[in-house]
Chains A and B, each alone.
Chain A
C-alpha cells in the first residue's frame, strides 16, 4: 500500500474532539483521530476506558455531547435519520457479543441485510449467504439457531453478517476476546484478508496484544477518555520492546506496560496512588459520627 498516496486522500473516518459523559462520569474527553482508506486501525485501552462507547459513536448509535464524526466525508452527528440509514448500509459491525438475532437461524441472520437492502432474488441471496458463511468457516451451520452456537461461532456468524453487504468500513469490537488461540488467529487472518481483498477500512477494538500486533497498520491507545498515542505498528513495537529505563516519558512507560501486560508499572502505581486509604477512612469517620 502506498502511504504517501493514501494520506493525501481525505480520511474515511475523521473524529474531532469527541466528548461524552454518562451522567457525571466522563467517558470520552476529546478524542481526535483520522483513519485512512484501506488501513487497519487498532484501538486499544484498558477495560472500561470507553472503547465500545467510542465505537458506538462511530456507527451513530449514540450521539456525542460534543465534537464531530465524519464518515465518508459527512458529519454523522448532524445527519437526518434517513441520511444516516444510507451511510449505515456502507459499513458493517461485529459486536462484542456477536449480537445475532436470536429468533433467526444463522443463515437468515446473514441474509437479513441482503433481503432488506438489495433487490436480489432469493436464489442469489442464498448463494451470497453461502459465500459469506464459507468465508468465516460456518457454511455447514447455516441452519442452526444462534443459541446452538459457541461464543466463537457466534462471533464468526456476526462477522459473516457484517460483510454481507460488502461494506467499505468494518468495525470490530473485541473480535478475538474469549476465543481459543487458534480460532483467534484465524479471525486475525480473516480481518487481514477481508481488509486487503475487499479493499475495506477496518477499525478493530481489542486488548489482545498479540492479535493487535498481527493485524494493525496503525494503532491508537486510549486512556481515561483521551488518546495517549497514535502511531504506526512499528512505533508501538519499539515501545513494547524498549527497556524500562529507556523511556523517560510517563505516557510511554504506561503504554509499554499495557503492551507488554506487565503487572508492575505506571498503571499499577496510579491505582496505588488513588484515594483508597482516604476512602476507607471516610467510612470509619461516617460510622463514628
Chain B
C-alpha cells in the first residue's frame, strides 16, 4: 500500500497575524512554521498504516524552499520519502493541480490531505485533488480502516457521524479524531538523525494556472471593550442581551 500525505506549511497557531507590502503578503518575520494540525493527524494515521500494514508513506508539499524544515519533521516522524513541488502555494486550485500531476505518475492507494489549513482555511485541496484524479473523497474524516483494498470510514457531519465504505484508491480530508492529540508522534533524536538521510526530492512545477488570486489582506477592526456585568446583577445581562444585542 502506498500512501501520500499532503502537507501544508502554516504559521504556528499562536502567531501574530500581520501583513506587509501594502497588505499583499503575510508577514512571516519571526513566525514559526508548523505542520498544519489537520495534516499532522493524517500523517500520524499514515504512520500507523506503515507500522501495522507495511504501508509506504510519502509526504508532499507545494511550496518554496522555506517549507523544507516542515518536510524534514515529517520524515523524522516516520515518512519514508518527501517531495517538494517547487513553486509558491498561492491558490488551492493550483496546489491541487500540482499535486495531481505528481499523483498521476505515482499511483497512490491512499492520499491524505488535511480537512483544511489553518492559514487560508480553503478546505478545498483534498476535494479538488480527488476530483482531478477521479478518486472518491471523504472529508472531515474521523476514522479510517483499510482491509483488502476497501476502506471503512467515518465522516463528521453537522449534527452527527456518517459511516462509509469505499474502494481504494481514495482521498481523505483528515482532522482530529482520525487519531487523538496524544497519539501525535514527537520525533526522537534517532528519527531526527534518520530524517537527514531520507530522500527529499524537489520536483519542478507543472506550471498550472491559478483560478483565484489574493489581491490584499485586511485585519478586522479592533474590538470594543467588554461590558462587565456584576455577578449579582444578572438581570442586567439578560436585559443587554435582549434589548441591546438582540440575541435572546
Q: Do A and B bind each other?
A: no
